[in-house]
Amino acid sequence: MILGIDIGGTTTKITGFLNNEVINPMLVRATDPISSLYGAFGKFLNENKLQLSDISYVMVTGVGSSYVKKRIFGLPTGKTQEFLATGMGGLFLSNLSNAVIVSMGTGTAFVKAEEGKARHLGGSGVGGGTLLGLSNKILNVREFEDLIGMAQDGDLSNVDLFINDITNDEIVGLPADSTASNFGKISDLATKTDVALGIINLVFQTIGVLSVFAARIDGTDDIVLTGNLTKVPQSRKIFDGLTKIHSVKFHIPEHSEYATALGAAIVYASGGNHTEM
């Protein structure tokens, strides 16, 4: 079995890859990348009742992989570039051969992926960090789960300015309920619930529109969404709304939050570019 490990600053994602199948992906949090890495490794072995001898190769990626200087538990270990891993993981999970892969983490990265190769198209500072930063400052809410729960009954009409707020005329290609300005109609009657939904809508509409621009520039119709933010339930409605305006397809595959960890394993399995430890 090959292990793919995506090491963040305080969060590590790990998955097994065997016979072209994803094996029990999981996430571990710790106060530093190395503790997070070894915690994830031990948890994976324990929960799957595996021995070190069951692991044929370990592939690491992510910003925290720069701290890995030697083989993990003496096992053959390699490192691959994060954008390549994200691209390969996104293609595998979506069963596509050509797509723009969007990695939604603290910020957002856009990667053009084809079979065996990936190219970083650009990025945005708008992402999960924006969600938490705004919700903390405006709502005094510091956890994703609390923000998501608060936003469930929100009403965007008390927060955002829509096309039908500024014109009675029909605009070809723009539904009347399209956003003209995020937070452009913030009302004194807006509740914390409304504002919470407005923050989520602001972040995901920004990511979605940038994804559309990346796909159009590259001549691709398929956009694969990956990363932890794919688990925010309100995001699906927002991306569905963008699909009605733009001729693209948004894909949120199963295990989307583990795409980069999986992609690291796939890079090794397919003989892709990596560095041996």
Position 244 scores a pLDDT of 87
pLDDT tens figures, 118-174: 999 999 999 999 999 999 999 999 999 999 999 999 999 999 999 898 888 888 778
Position 29 scores a pLDDT of 83
The predicted model scores a pTM of 0.94
Give the pLDDT band (50/70/90) at residue 238. very high
Instruction: Over range 250-254, report the average pLDDT.
Output: 97
Instruction: Over range 252-260, report the average pLDDT.
Output: 97
**Domain architecture of the chain: domains with CATH:** 2-86+259-276 (3.30.420.40), 96-252 (3.30.420.40)
- Distance, in Å, from the CA atom of 246 to the CA atom of 119, rounded to the nearest integer, reads 23
Position 176 scores a pLDDT of 86
Structure tokens at 5: 């490990």
pLDDT tens figures, 82-129: 999 999 999 999 999 999 999 999 999 999 999 889 999 999 999 999
Position 115 scores a pLDDT of 86
Position 173 scores a pLDDT of 78
